[in-house]
Amino acid sequence: MKIPLLYSLRNLWTRRLTTVLTASGMALVVFVFAAILMLAEGLRKTLIETGSYDNVLVIRKAAVSEVQSGVDRLQASIVETQPEVALGSEGQRLLSKELVVLITLPRRGSDKPANVVIRGIGGSSLKLRPQVKLIEGRMPRPGSSEIIAGQSIAKRFKGGGVGETLRFAMRDWTVVGVFDAGNTGFNSEIWGDVDQLMQAFRRPVYSSVIFKLRDSSELEAVKSRLEHDPRLTLDALRETKYYEKQSEMMAKFLRILGISLTLIFSIGAIIGAMITMYAAVANRTNEIGTMRALGFQRVSILTSFLMESLFLAFIGGCIGLFFASFLQLFTVSTMNWQTFSELAFSFSLTLEIISIALLFALVMGFIGGVLPAFRAARMNILDALWKS
Task: By CB under 8 A, name the binding residues for other proteins.
Answer: 17-18, 21-22, 24-25, 28-29, 31-32, 60-64, 67-68, 101-104, 112-115, 168-170, 201-202, 204, 233, 249, 253, 256-257, 260-261, 264-265, 267-269, 271-272, 274-276, 278-279, 282-283, 332-335, 337, 340, 342
Distance CA(228)–CA(61), nearest Å, equals 12
Strand partners, 178: 136, 149
Distance CA(193)–CA(179), nearest Å, equals 15
Cβ neighbors of 172 (< 8 A, separation 6 or more) are 145, 165, 166
103 or 356, CB closer to other proteins?
103
Least distance CB 114 / other proteins (angstroms): 5
84 or 227, CB closer to other proteins?
227
Strand partners, 189: 117
Least distance CB 275 / other proteins (angstroms): 5
169 or 221, CB closer to other proteins?
169
334 or 380, CB closer to other proteins?
334
Of 149, 173, 145, 176, the C-alpha closest to 160 is: 149
Number of separate helices (H) and strands (E) present in the chain: 13, 12
Least distance CB 341 / other proteins (angstroms): 9
278 or 314, CB closer to other proteins?
278
Residue 151 backbone phi and psi in degrees, to 5 = -55, -45
Least distance CB 72 / other proteins (angstroms): 10
b (16+ CB within 10 A) / e for 364-387: bbbbbbbebbbbbbebeeeebbee
Q: Which amino acid is at 294?
A: L
4 or 113, CB closer to other proteins?
113
Residue 300 backbone phi and psi in degrees, to 5 = -60, -40
Least distance CB 186 / other proteins (angstroms): 19
170 or 294, CB closer to other proteins?
170
Distance CA(75)–CA(56), nearest Å, equals 15
201 or 314, CB closer to other proteins?
201
Least distance CB 235 / other proteins (angstroms): 11
89 or 202, CB closer to other proteins?
202
Cβ count near 334 (within 10 Å): 12
Least distance CB 276 / other proteins (angstroms): 6
Distance CA(157)–CA(210), nearest Å, equals 27
Least distance CB 201 / other proteins (angstroms): 7
Q: Which helix (H) or strand (E) holds 194?
A: helix 194-201
Q: Are 289 and 52 in contact (CB under 8 A)?
A: no
Q: Are 175 and 199 in contact (CB under 8 A)?
A: no
Least distance CB 93 / other proteins (angstroms): 27
Of 304, 228, 335, 382, the C-alpha closest to 9 is: 304
